[in-house]
Structure 1
Amino acid sequence: MSEFFHHIDSNWTLFLDRDGVINKRPPGDYIKKWEEFEFLPGVQDALNILSKKFTRIIVITNQQGIGKGLMTEEDLQKIHQKMKAYVTKNGGRIDAIYYCPDLAGAENNCRKPGTFMAEQAKRDFPEIDFSKSVMVGDTLSDMEFGRNTGMKTVFINSDNSFLDPATYDYSFIDLLAFAKAIGGNR
C-alpha cells in the first residue's frame, strides 16, 4: 500500500461522511429515524481500528432532509446519539458530528464541498491540522470538501460508481478496507 499510510500517526484527524460510508444510503431518500439507519458491513470493525489510529474521528454530513421538512433537527440528533452510543458500546469512537441542514440550492449554504463544517470542527478542536487529516467519502462533494481544506482524500467506491481518479488520492471498496490498509502501521 502507499507509503503515505505509514506517515499517519496519532496527530492525524479522520473526517468521515455518513451516508454511504458508515450507513447504507437509501436511494433517493433520507434516513429520517433510527429504525431506517443500517450500518454498512464491516463499519464497526473499521471504527475500532481507526479509533486506535486517529486522535479525532469526526463525521461531516449534508442533511438537506431537514431543509426539505422531511425530518427535524431533533430527529437527526436522536439518530446521531444512537449511532455514537452503538459505536462506543462496540469499541469504536466518534468524537463529533457536524451536519448541514441547508438545501443544495440555497445561497451561502454550509454544505460540502464548502468548508464551513471543517471550520466548525477546527474551532471546537483547535489542534486539528488539515494537512494531517483524511476525508473519507463516497461522493464528488466529499472529495472536493477534502481538497478544499487541504486534506488527503479517500473515495469509498462500494457501488462501483465512476469518479475521475484525479478527484481523489486513494480509493477503497469500503471503510474496513481503508482501516485495514492503515491499521497495522502504528
Structure 2
Amino acid sequence: MAVLPIRIMGDPVLHAPAARVDEITDEVRTLVADMFETMDAAPGVGLAAPQVGVGLRIYTYSYQDDDGEPWRGVLINPDLWMRPLEPGAPDPDEESEGCLSFPGERFPLRRSEEVLVTGTDLDGQPVRIQVAGWRARIMQHEFDHLDGILYLDRLDDADWKTTQKIARKRGWGRPGSAWTPGIDDLDA
C-alpha cells in the first residue's frame, strides 16, 4: 500500500466525469487499498479515485454512526438518491465542509439532509447505505467528485470568488497541482 498524491483543484481529472468500473481487478483492489491509506494519512472522511488521479467511479469513506460505531467502506459505480434541499442559506457553523482537493479551507454549503447510495463493494457484492446528517454530506461530496464537481462549484458567488483568490495565491487551479499527505506541508 502507498500514500498517493492528492490532486488539487484545477487538475483536469477533478473536473471531468469518471468512468464506470467494468471489472474489479487486482489493480482496482490495490487502488482502493492505497486510497484508504491516503485518506487516513490526510486525514479525511472520504476520498474519490479522481482525487488521486484515477478517473474511475470509486470512493472510500470512513465515519462513525450515531452509536459511535465505525463504518468504513468503498463504493464502486455508486448511484445516489437524496431528499430535496431545504430552502435557505447554509448555517456556517453546522453546514460547512472542506475538501482534500482544496486543503485547509472550509466553506458553508447546503446539502440534502438524507441520502440513499447503492453500488458494489470490492467483492462485487451490492452495497446499500441510507444515512442522514454529516454522513449524508460525506456521500454527496464524494459522489460529486465522480461527476467532476468540486464542492467549490456549488458555493455562492462570494465564497466562490474567495476560493479563486486563495487558489491564485497558492498557485493552485492548474493541471498538475497535488500534495502528498505526510510529505507536503500545506500550512498557508
TM-score scaled by length of structure 2: 0.29
TM-score (norm 1): 0.30
- More helix per residue: 1
